Structure 1
Amino acid sequence: MFYVKNVPTWERALRVIVGLAVVAWAVLALGGLWGTVVALSAAGIVLSGLFGFCPACAMVGRKLDKANR
């Protein structure tokens, strides 16, 4: 891997679940341009949950200890 995971397992699951819910809400309830913008933003949150790496967390120096991997 070219990156080090910086999101704990419990947070990864939460990001995927909440991100998918927001994508569904944006597509069904908002629609149009705003729905697309919100859905794409939420898709980024889902991807960070799937990969276990968050670029924003990396920029502020967040690192996992060995117990949370």
Structure 2
Amino acid sequence: MFYVKNVPTWERALRVIAGLAVAVWSVLALGGPWGTAVALSAAGIVLSGLFGFCPACAMVGRKLDKAKR
């Protein structure tokens, strides 16, 4: 792989669930261009949960312990 996972499993699940909830809420409640923008942002959160890699966490040097993978 080209990246090293830097998000623990429990946080990955939380990111996927919260990201999907925010995406659905933004489309239903906000609508229009604001809803689309928030939904796209939430999609980024979901993707970081699915891949287990967060670029922002990597920039600040976050690493996982070997036992937490």
RMSD: 0.3
Identity %: 90
Could you tell me how far apart the structure 1 residues matched to 2:6 and 2:28 are? 32
SS at match of 1:6: coil
Per-residue deviation at 1:67?
Answer: 1.1
Runs of 4+ in 1 over 4 A off after TM superposition: none
Q: Which runs of 5+ in 2 are unaligned?
A: none
Could you tell me how far apart the structure 2 residues matched to 1:18 and 1:62 are? 21
Which residue of 1 is the match for residue 5 of structure 2? 5
Task: Tell me the TM-score normalized by structure 1.
Answer: 0.99
Could you tell me how far apart the structure 2 residues matched to 1:22 and 1:67 are? 31
Task: Tell me the TM-score normalized by structure 2.
Answer: 0.99
Q: Which runs of 5+ in 1 are unaligned?
A: none
Aligned length: 69
Which residue of 1 is the match for residue 40 of structure 2? 40
